[in-house]
Amino acid sequence: MSYKQTKCWNVDNFFSGGENLTWIKEAALWITKGEVVAFPTETVYGLGANALDEQAVKKIFEAKGRPSDNPLIVHIAEQHQLTDLVTDIPEVAHTLMKHFWPGPLTIILEKKDTVAPSVTAGLDTVAVRIPDHPVARALLQEANVPVAAPSANLSGKPSPTSAMHVYHDLKGRIAGILDGGQTGVGVESTVLDCSKPTPILYRPGGVTKEEIEALIGPVHLDPSLHSENAAPLSPGMKYTHYSPTGTLYLVEDQTKIASLIKRAREEGKRVGVLTTTENEHKYEADVIVACGSRENLASIASGLYESLRMFDEKEADIIFSEVFPYEHLGIAIMNRLEKAATMNELGEDFPCS
């Protein structure tokens, strides 16, 4: 499906009232009529459609070019809406919702048949969350239906953290975009399967494993998160994601980055470096992007996707990235970087780690 125009509603100053609510109501009406509309959440922008309307949900897959075996997250405004979507809510899920909702935790539960089949890609379970963003909450309240929404990027590209990113990827492919400015967390929600006796963490994200375990005790990790050879249990985790067009390499030893840059430039390549405010002065490359500060992993998460997109904008052929500690938000940051990167290091041409 193509649209002559993708409408952009500016709702950045939502709390100042006035026209903003009118626009959110218009976007909500479009959703209830079966259209797809992008909206900001606290993590990244989502591409929303009525989760109970199979035809509307199919438009999401079409607009993104998303493989049909990759299920979507359903967004709701209030916890009581869960009763229309799931058969059973175990005690552990109640505890997690009470503590982390609204917020960047997606919980997987046994689904009811009311959910459009494409949403769950044929699985018996459905992923649900309440986002913590005033525009998202108002949209969900006004639409008064559960809204299925993946990240609002073209499949394979970094998730959008601004309306400009959505427009860049999806203009002419979707009906409209609610522009609520930059998102905050910057990486997607944590995905936790609570339909199993011990919850399984499928995707690290905005709520950390440490925070979850402090509340409910140990959870299992999807084997693919700690072993390269294991197949992921969650369909979406098997796809390459978040990739800039240039080849991205993760370099553990920061002292090697300068010589890697020099060598690639000698070969005539346009070289990018993904670094931090602490280190940016150390490099001489064509595109130097500091995504945040090492002192504050939240700032790295928040700037990560914008930074990855910057290398495309500035046409870097090859990108060397620093790495981050595998703890707290660092787990989500490294998970996204590893998916974006060409793995198995640089080979003989670029011995680096």
Interacting residues toward ligand TXA by CB under 6 A: 41, 43-44, 46, 70-73, 104, 106, 108, 120, 123, 125-127, 131, 149-151, 188-189, 191, 202-203, 234-237
SS3 103: coil
Instruction: Tell me how far apart the alpha carbons of residues 178 and 169 are, in angstroms, rounded to a whole number.
Output: 15
Residue with smaller CB distance to ligand TXA, 42 or 53: 42
| Residue 41 contact partner, candidates ligand TXA, Mg ion, none, CB within 5 to 8 A by sort of partner | ligand TXA
Q: Which string of DSSP letters, residue by residue, matches 134-158?
A: HHHHHHHHHH-S-EE--BSS-TTSP
Q: Where does residue 343 rank: exposed (0-12), middle (13-18), buried (19+ CB within 10 A)? A: exposed
Compute CA distances 169 → 7, 73, 177, 314, whole Å.
14, 20, 12, 16
Q: How far is the CB of 271 from ligand TXA (least distance, A)?
A: 30
| Residue 46 contact partner, candidates Mg ion, ligand TXA, none, CB within 5 to 8 A by sort of partner | ligand TXA
**73-75 sheet: strands from edge to edge:** 7-10, 176-179, 37-39, 46-50, 147-148, 73-75, 125-129, 105-110, 190-193, 200-203, 220-221
Sequence-separated (6 or more) residues with CB below 8 Å from residue 161: 44, 45, 182, 183, 186, 302, 305, 306
Contact 145, 32 (CB under 8 A): yes
Nearest position to ligand TXA, beta carbon: 236
| Residue 52 contact partner, candidates ligand TXA, Mg ion, none, CB within 5 to 8 A by sort of partner | none
Interaction of residue 106 with Mg ion, rule CB under 5 A: no
Residue with smaller CB distance to ligand TXA, 199 or 236: 236
Interaction of residue 151 with Mg ion, rule CB under 5 A: yes
Locate 84 and state its tokens.
């229309």
Q: How far is the CB of 124 from Mg ion (least distance, A)?
A: 22
Contact 48, 59 (CB under 8 A): no
Q: How far is the CB of 251 from ligand TXA (least distance, A)?
A: 27
Residue with smaller CB distance to ligand TXA, 97 or 191: 191
Residue with smaller CB distance to Mg ion, 151 or 335: 151
Nearest position to Mg ion, beta carbon: 151
Total binding residues toward Mg ion, as defined by CB under 5 A? 1
Residue with smaller CB distance to ligand TXA, 73 or 337: 73
Residue with smaller CB distance to ligand TXA, 180 or 272: 180
| Residue 64 contact partner, candidates Mg ion, ligand TXA, none, CB within 5 to 8 A by sort of partner | none
Residues lying near Mg ion in the complex (CB under 5 A)? 151
